[in-house]
């Protein structure tokens, strides 16, 4: 009888530890998902703003550098992308 009580106590302790670990892992996973969702939302907004600038919604904000020369050896031309939020 004593041995059964000890075994049941061990099982109860193990169960509590496992529940605690599982809940802790779930909380960490939930926080990571929420963080990723926030980051994804921020990136989506930033991409939309860049698309607006590049495709003519705000042409005054997309400026070619003055006196720029054409690309040489496959180099890219200098483009100044400004965003009012970044100022």
Domain chopping of the chain, boundaries: 2-86
- In this predicted structure, the answer to whether residue 47 has a pLDDT above a threshold of 70 is yes
Q: What is the predicted pLDDT for the residue at 22? A: 84
Asked if 57 and 44 count as a contact pair (C-beta separation under 8 A), the reply is no
pLDDT digits (tens, 9 = 90+) for 14-46: 777 788 888 888 888 998 998 998 899 989 999
Instruction: Report CA torsion sign: 28, 32, 33, 37.
Output: positive
Asked if 53 and 61 count as a contact pair (C-beta separation under 8 A), the reply is yes
pLDDT band at 82 (very low <50, low <70, confident <90, very high): low
pLDDT band at 67 (very low <50, low <70, confident <90, very high): very low
The greatest distance separating any two alpha carbons of the chain, rounded to the nearest whole angstrom, comes to 93
Indicate whether this model's pTM tops 0.85: no
Residue pointed to by tokens 């100044």: 80
Mean pLDDT of 47-54: 84
> What is the four-CA torsion angle of 26, 29, 33, 35, rounded to 10 degrees?
120
- In this predicted structure, the answer to whether residue 50 has a pLDDT above a threshold of 70 is yes
Cβ-in-10-Å burial (0-12, 13-18, 19+) of 55 comes to: exposed
Percentage of the chain exceeding pLDDT 90: 2
């Amino acid at each position: 009888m004593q041995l059964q009580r000890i075994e049941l106590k061990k099982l109860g302790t193990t169960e509590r530890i496992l529940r605690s670990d599982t809940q802790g892992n779930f909380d960490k996973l939930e926080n990571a998902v929420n963080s990723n969702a926030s980051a994804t939302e921020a990136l989506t907004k930033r991409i939309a703003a860049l698309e607006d600038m590049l495709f003519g919604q705000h042409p005054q904000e997309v400026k070619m550098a003055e006196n720029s020369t054409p690309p040489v050896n496959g180099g890219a031309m200098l483009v100044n992308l400004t965003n009012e939020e970044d100022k």
